[in-house]
Amino acid sequence: MSVVNEKKYSKQLMFTDESQNSSLQLPIDEIVDNDRRGFLKRTGVATIAAMVGTSIPFQHNLPIGFVPAALAQGNILSGKDGLTLLNDRPVNAETPPELLDDGITPTNRHFIRNNGIPPEDIDPKTWTLTIDGFVDNPMTLTIADLRDQFDVVTMALTLECGGNGRGFFNPPAKGNQWTYGAVACSNWTGVRLKDVLKKAGVQSTVIYTAHYGADGHLSGDPDKLPISRGIPIEKAMTENVLIAFEMNGDALHPMNGAPLRLVVPGWPASTAQKWLKRIELRDQVHDGPKMTGKAYRVPAYKVSPGQDVPEEDFVIIERMPVKSLVTFPANDSNVGLQSDVRGHAWSGDRTVDKVEISIDFGATWMQAELDKPVNSGAWQNWRANVRFPQSGYYEVWARATDNEGVMQPFAIDWNPKGYLNNTMHRVGLRVS
Ligand X SMILES: Nc1nc2c(c(=O)[nH]1)N[C@H]1C(S)=C(S)[C@@H](COP(=O)(O)O)O[C@H]1N2
Rule CB under 6 A: choose which of 209, 248, 270, 401 binds ligand X.
Answer: 270
Closer to ligand X by CB, 42 or 229: give it: 229
Contact code string over 158-177 relative to ligand X, x by CB under 6 A: -x-x----------------
Contacts of 3 (CB under 8 A, 6+ apart): 61
Rule CB under 5 A: choose which of 109, 113, 192, 261 binds Mo ion.
Answer: 113
Rule CB under 5 A: choose which of 51, 156, 161, 368 binds Mo ion.
Answer: 161
Alpha carbon 279 to chain centroid distance? 20
Q: Return the residues of window 321-380 that contact ligand X according to CB under 6 A.
A: none
> Helices (H) and strands (E) in the chain — how many of each?
7, 23
| Rounded Cα–Cα distance for residues 75 and 69 (Å) | 10
Q: How far is the CB of 252 from ligand X (least distance, A)?
A: 8
User: In sequence order, what are the beta bridge partners of 383?
Assistant: 342, 369
Chosen from Mo ion, ligand X, none, partner binding at 378 (C-beta under 5 to 8 Å by type): none
Alpha carbon 280 to chain centroid distance? 23
Rule CB under 6 A: choose which of 97, 133, 213, 230 binds ligand X.
Answer: 213
Q: Rg of the Cα trace of the chain?
A: 24
Chosen from Mo ion, ligand X, none, partner binding at 401 (C-beta under 5 to 8 Å by type): none
Q: Are 388 and 398 in contact (CB under 8 A)?
A: no
Closer to ligand X by CB, 260 or 427: give it: 260
| Residue 59, amino acid | Q
- The count of residues interacting with Mo ion (CB under 5 A) is 3
Q: How far is the CB of 272 from ligand X (least distance, A)?
A: 5
Could you give phi then psi for residue 399, rounded to 5 degrees? -140, 135
| Rounded Cα–Cα distance for residues 345 and 398 (Å) | 9
How is residue 149 annotated by DSSP? H
Three-state DSSP state, 251: strand
Chosen from Mo ion, ligand X, none, partner binding at 274 (C-beta under 5 to 8 Å by type): ligand X
| Rounded Cα–Cα distance for residues 432 and 426 (Å) | 19
Could you give phi then psi for residue 41, rounded to 5 degrees? -75, -40
Chosen from Mo ion, ligand X, none, partner binding at 348 (C-beta under 5 to 8 Å by type): none
Q: Are 379 and 348 in contact (CB under 8 A)?
A: no
Contact between 418 and ligand X (CB under 6 A)? no
Contact between 286 and ligand X (CB under 6 A)? no
Chosen from ligand X, Mo ion, none, partner binding at 273 (C-beta under 5 to 8 Å by type): ligand X
Chosen from ligand X, Mo ion, none, partner binding at 226 (C-beta under 5 to 8 Å by type): ligand X
Contact between 186 and ligand X (CB under 6 A)? no
Q: At what angle do helices 69-76 and 45-52 cross, to 10 degrees?
A: 70
- The count of residues interacting with ligand X (CB under 6 A) is 21
Contact between 291 and ligand X (CB under 6 A)? no
Residue with nearest beta carbon to ligand X: 213
Q: What ranges make up the beta strands (E) of 266-379?
A: 276-282, 297-299, 314-316, 323-328, 333-335, 338-346, 352-358, 366-367, 369-370
Q: Which of 291, 428, 284, 344 is nearest to 104 (CA)?
A: 344
Contact code string over 90-129 relative to ligand X, x by CB under 6 A: --------------------xxxxxxx-------------
| Rounded Cα–Cα distance for residues 99 and 197 (Å) | 37
Q: How far is the CB of 231 from ligand X (least distance, A)?
A: 12
Contact between 272 and ligand X (CB under 6 A)? yes
Contact between 187 and ligand X (CB under 6 A)? no
Contact between 109 and Mo ion (CB under 5 A)? no
Closer to Mo ion by CB, 161 or 242: give it: 161
| Residues engaged in binding ligand X (CB under 6 A) | 110-116, 159, 161, 213, 215, 226-227, 256-257, 269-270, 272-275
